[in-house]
Amino acid sequence: MSISTKMNDFAQRSSWIRKMFEEGARLQKKFGAENVFDFSLGNPDLSPPPQFAETLKRLVNDEKPGVHGYMPNGGYPFVREAVARQISQEQEITVSADEILMTCGAAGALNVVLKSILNPGEEVIILSPFFVEYNFYVDNHGGATKIVNTRNDFSLDLEAISGAISEKTKGIIINSPNNPTGRIYSATELAQLGEILTAAQEKFNSTIFLLSDEPYRKIIYDDNVVPSIFKAYDNSIVVSSYSKDLSLPGERIGYIAVHPQITDKGPLIGALTLANRILGYVNAPALMQRVIAELQGLTVDCSIYAKRRKTFEKILTDAGYEFTSPQGAFYFFPKSPWENDAEFVAHLQKFKILAVPGRGFGMPGYFRLAFCVDDGVIERSAPAFQEAIKTA
């Protein structure tokens, strides 16, 4: 085989969402797009806030020399200052521009962080269910993942996390609001997690980083609040992007925010800046940096997602599916009526419903439904969900 054995194996393991995408295209061609209920992709369908287009048009017409040139690898200083002000509000701790690094999305941010902190063979704990790419990101930089399940309601299993920490542990990745469950980890949970990590650092005489992946921070429901990671634990790093809250996934703009009291802050920020360059990102997109500097605190109209969540919740409940209602993000993660979630997802396709099996997120026995789709798709799917479970 011409490609590496590792990449061939990775391609097999990461193929679920791609398979659903391809199946969706086939079904739409055969039955018409209006007759297919595609809930497979977490691709936000809402338009960005109107201020985005206004700002973009104005900045595109700026013809000053150098506006599209290189800048410091960490990003424009004025952009980092704007992001730092926003992060200071969200994390309830004063963060400076020197503690911000602009990146090519949250994915780029995670790879930059992992490149900077991992030695070969060191471990990163990830919590099931998890964003499918975490395993690959850790492997990219010579690390190994240790998977720990969350509880039945998808809250943190602190005892299990504590038991998974060893002298090889270098970090833990959390994602709140979570993809695929929509779970928000509470301030109490995070404080207890911080205590566990602090005790583990003392026990193993090591540094353990808490990496918080927060692209859904502003997409929340029912007056829920996403607590501060920085208040829970000093050795914490936030990575995020504007893909979901501003509906800009294709623009690849994100950031890293480092806790002001983090261990070896100077060398760490130096390593992050170097990693941003040598991984090939060089710097975050210049135009998008300038745009988002003026859009801090803005978000898409989350009431639209909230309405869809309520509609979908009733459809699934009436049909008899078992699920935990999401507190944030735009996914449902119901239990599969069959033990084999992949087989049930294949069963759903008979009714032109496209979902992703839970095993793709490290948790078999469930399936994910993304409701970042037109309201009509959700509404028209009700009979199909009922028929699918009746014949299961």
| Pair (234, 258) in one structural domain | yes
Class of residue 298 by CB neighbours under 10 A (exposed 0-12, middle 13-18, buried 19+): middle
Residue 37, classed as helix, strand or coil, is: strand
| Pair (31, 90) in one structural domain | no
Structure confidence at residue 355 (pLDDT): 96
| Pair (103, 181) in one structural domain | yes
Structure confidence at residue 107 (pLDDT): 97
| Pair (287, 307) in one structural domain | no
Alpha-carbon span 73 to 101, nearest angstrom = 8
List, run by run, the mean pLDDT of 10-residue segments along the chain (392 residues).
Answer: 81 69 75 86 95 97 89 97 98 98 98 98 98 95 98 97 98 98 98 98 98 98 97 98 97 98 98 97 97 97 98 98 98 97 96 95 97 97 97 86
Counting Cα atoms < 13 Å in the Cβ hemisphere of 347 gives: 18
| Pair (342, 362) in one structural domain | yes
| Pair (306, 376) in one structural domain | yes
Instruction: Count, in order, helices (H) and strands (E) of the chain.
Output: 14, 12
| Pair (175, 286) in one structural domain | yes
DSSP class of 147: E
Structure confidence at residue 14 (pLDDT): 67
| Pair (190, 228) in one structural domain | yes
| Pair (145, 94) in one structural domain | yes
| Pair (89, 111) in one structural domain | yes
Buried b (16+ CB within 10 A) or exposed e, 91-122: bebebebbbbbbbbbbbbbbbbbbbbbbeeeb
Q: Is 54 a member of any domain?
A: no
Alpha-carbon span 63 to 23, nearest angstrom = 45
What is the CB neighbour count within 10 angstroms for residue 231?
A: 16
Q: Is 55 a member of any domain?
A: no
Residue appearing with tokens 């990101």: 137
Structure confidence at residue 17 (pLDDT): 67
Which residue range forms the structural domain that includes residue 343?
5-48+300-390
